[in-house]
Amino acid sequence: MPEAPHLRVSKKSKVSATVAVCSALVVFLYLFAITNTLSRITTSSTRIQEQKWSWESPESTRAISCDRTHFEYDMCYLKHPTIMDPTSAIFFTEDPTNSTPQLMEKIRPFPRNFKHTPINVVRQLTLTTAPPNVSCAVTHTSPALVFNAGGDWTTNYYHSFNEIFIPLFITVDTFFPDHDFVIGIFNCSHGWVHHYNDILSTYTRHQIIDFNQETATHCFPSAIVGLISHGASTVDPTLQRRPHPKSLLDFRAFLTAKYSQSHHAPPPPWTSKGKPRLVFLNRNGTRGILNVDNIRRAAEDTGFEVFIFEPSRESSMHEAFRVIDSSHAMIAVHGAGLTNMVFQRPGSVLMQMVPAECYWLASLCYGKMAVRFGLEYIVYNIDQDETVSEWDKTRGVVPLENWINNKEGLQFKLDLVKVKRHLKRVYERAKKFMHKESLSSSYKIKLSWGQK
């Protein structure tokens, strides 16, 4: 830890007096800030209590009201007690006004514009005020938030974040800031809930219900069906009406709060001091780089401490966080693995290596995402002669459908001269980030000293 220079305070009494006055002022301001924050927390939790049941549904007098005005998602609101039958995917809700004819709505609660697609990729749910033909097996006292996990679509890591974890963050912040609600998930691929149970249970105080596996009926005092999306990989503060609108950086803070407390993974793998740390994300099975050892050496020669991270399907987010959050830069070939950038700290560097034919996709998915997460973003264009996959040679370029469907493993042998040139750029920016980081940490040391 760098020694804070001001610790060598001059002994002249005039200076000491000034320091004393300043410290007192800092302490005062600090206490003032704490009191202020505390009172704000108290008032906002009171407000949450008051607002708990008053959702802004489009037609507040109807027992079922749906908002279908958004491009990417639909939302339905059930304000009264509801029985969910997972077998038939029907939600029977009470209607105190006994409206005739009975209300009936269909919804595919998945925040991607499948509602405009003729192919029924995601399961449809039915919401009705018809008298139920089932009775309650399990009764909950908290409201439900029910959504569709998009079937096989979310076996992809990127889509799990883009269509579930980020929209869920927005939706929970909008409707359930007290986290007192039950998550019910339809149409998730086998093992999905289990695999992501850790992150899913960060959003709620209650156990997650996998309606794909469940046969018992569940009853809730009320329910919201659907997830809010602000578009691909974004949390837009201008689209929120709550007093403290959230951004994508709040989403990152949410992940950090969860995973920095983790006791599930050993400490970060880094050993040397003073060198920028580079994570080389290699996916041997699907995006293999053959000359990975040469690239590691090139990165080390550039001045990096290098860690080759090979996440597998079983890798936990704890492990990804532990490695990536403590790094200054990450490099990876285009693909869902780049979603791990959610664990990078704003200001750190991301280099995406992009084969021909994927430029638009790479920029659309991960380029924009990197910028939104406040990363320094660099592109490495993989030329055709750096691609060694057999099928690729016969077709000339990387066929896009192979990228999207991920059917075949891809292999690359990168041009070392070109790699070194790019690594230098990554290094310069990573070094800058590291420098800023050390400035801000010595600033923090000063502040905490001043407050004592």
Ligand X SMILES: *[C@@H]1O[C@H](CO)[C@@H](O)[C@H](O)[C@H]1NC(C)=O
CB of 372 to ligand X, least distance (A): 29
DSSP 24: H
Tokens standing for residue 119: 């192919």
Q: Give dist(CA 85, CA 133) in Å, integer.
A: 9
Nearer to ligand X, 191 or 396 (CB): 191
CB of 285 to ligand X, least distance (A): 7
Contact range with ligand X by CB under 6 A, out of 120-128, 197-205, 339-347, 442-450: 120-128
CB of 193 to ligand X, least distance (A): 11
Contact range with ligand X by CB under 6 A, out of 31-39, 42-50, 116-124, 390-398: 116-124
Nearer to ligand X, 123 or 277 (CB): 123
CB of 191 to ligand X, least distance (A): 10
Residue environment code for 27-40, b if the CB has 16+ CB neighbours within 10 A, otherwise e: eeeeeeeeeeeeee
Nearer to ligand X, 122 or 338 (CB): 122
Residues 6+ apart with CB under 8 A from 229: 70, 72, 73, 111, 112, 163, 166, 167, 170
Cα Rg for the chain, rounded, in angstroms? Answer: 26
Show the site string, 271-310: x = touches ligand X by CB under 6 A, - = not. Answer: -------------x---x----------------------
Q: Give dist(CA 147, CA 197) in Å, integer.
A: 15
Contact 373, 402 (CB under 8 A): no
CB of 74 to ligand X, least distance (A): 16
149, containing H or E segment: strand 144-151
Q: Residue 363: how many CB atoms within 10 A of its CB?
A: 18
Tell me the CA distances in angstroms from 411 to 89, 288, 387, one per residue in order. Answer: 43, 5, 6
Nearer to ligand X, 48 or 290 (CB): 290
Tokens standing for residue 369: 């995402």
User: Torsion angle of alpha carbons 240, 241, 247, 248, nearest 10°?
Assistant: -40
Nearer to ligand X, 185 or 342 (CB): 185
Indicate whether 123 belongs to the interface with ligand X (CB under 6 A): yes
Indicate whether 213 belongs to the interface with ligand X (CB under 6 A): no
CB of 291 to ligand X, least distance (A): 12
Tokens standing for residue 394: 């016969």
Indicate whether 122 belongs to the interface with ligand X (CB under 6 A): yes
Nearer to ligand X, 46 or 124 (CB): 124
Indicate whether 389 belongs to the interface with ligand X (CB under 6 A): no
Contact 223, 211 (CB under 8 A): no
CB of 303 to ligand X, least distance (A): 24
Nearest alpha-carbon partner for 105 in 143, 144, 64: 64
Tell me the CA distances in angstroms from 193 to 155, 182, 188, 198, 412, one per residue in order. Answer: 11, 14, 7, 9, 34
Contact range with ligand X by CB under 6 A, out of 115-123, 263-271, 346-354, 385-393: 115-123
DSSP 381: E
- Largest Cα separation within the chain, whole Å, is 87
CB of 92 to ligand X, least distance (A): 9
Indicate whether 18 belongs to the interface with ligand X (CB under 6 A): no
CB of 365 to ligand X, least distance (A): 23
Indicate whether 120 belongs to the interface with ligand X (CB under 6 A): yes
Indicate whether 155 belongs to the interface with ligand X (CB under 6 A): no
Show the site string, 165-194: x = touches ligand X by CB under 6 A, - = not. Answer: ----------------------x-x-----
CB of 67 to ligand X, least distance (A): 22
Indicate whether 111 belongs to the interface with ligand X (CB under 6 A): no
Contact range with ligand X by CB under 6 A, out of 119-127, 218-226, 260-268, 435-443: 119-127
Cα 176–179–185 angle (5° rounding)?
A: 85
Show the site string, 79-108: x = touches ligand X by CB under 6 A, - = not. Answer: ---------x-x------------------
Chain positions contacting ligand X, by CB under 6 A: 88, 90, 120, 122-123, 133-134, 151, 187, 189, 212, 284, 288
